[in-house]
Amino acid sequence: MGEAYTFRLAKVTDIEDIVGIEQSSFTVPWSKEAFYREIVENQFAYYLVIEDHFQPIGYCGIWLVMDEAHVTNIAILPSYRGRKLGEQLMKEAIKLAKRHGAQTMTLEARVSNHVAQNLYKKLGFEAGGIRKNYYSDNGEDALVMWVEL
């Protein structure tokens, strides 16, 4: 079954699936309109999807500005978690960022999300600071993490 997983850039037709993944993953999900603006209108945004037999099961958004990549969001459908697909998706995002000239990559993770932090550390990310009250649903702080590409 693992050999069926593929990665590609997201298209407008993926927005419904991406929104479904987003809603199943986050307490304050981005809207359909927000993803439309990201995928269609934002010249700095790149969204990757991971598919299982041509069905999106996860996505990762990055902004590429100058020589820096910023991960805006990443999610895998709950039924596919625990299979290291998030790690594979992050590795693909890193490859994409490098191809576009990024020298560094940054992201935020909830201070309570140790699973995500451990994944990012495994990929070479290091803690760089705290953004106080970053998450609007509960005011939780975000851990800012960086990696040199």
Catalytic residues: 108, 120
Cα–Cα distance, 100 to 86 (Å, whole number): 21
Residues 6+ apart with CB under 8 A from 109: 116, 117, 120, 142, 143, 145
Cα–Cα distance, 77 to 51 (Å, whole number): 11
14, two tokens: 């993926």
CA-to-CA dists, residue 124 to 12, 83, 105, 121, 134, angstroms = 32, 20, 10, 5, 23
Strand partners, 106: 70, 146
55, two tokens: 């069905």
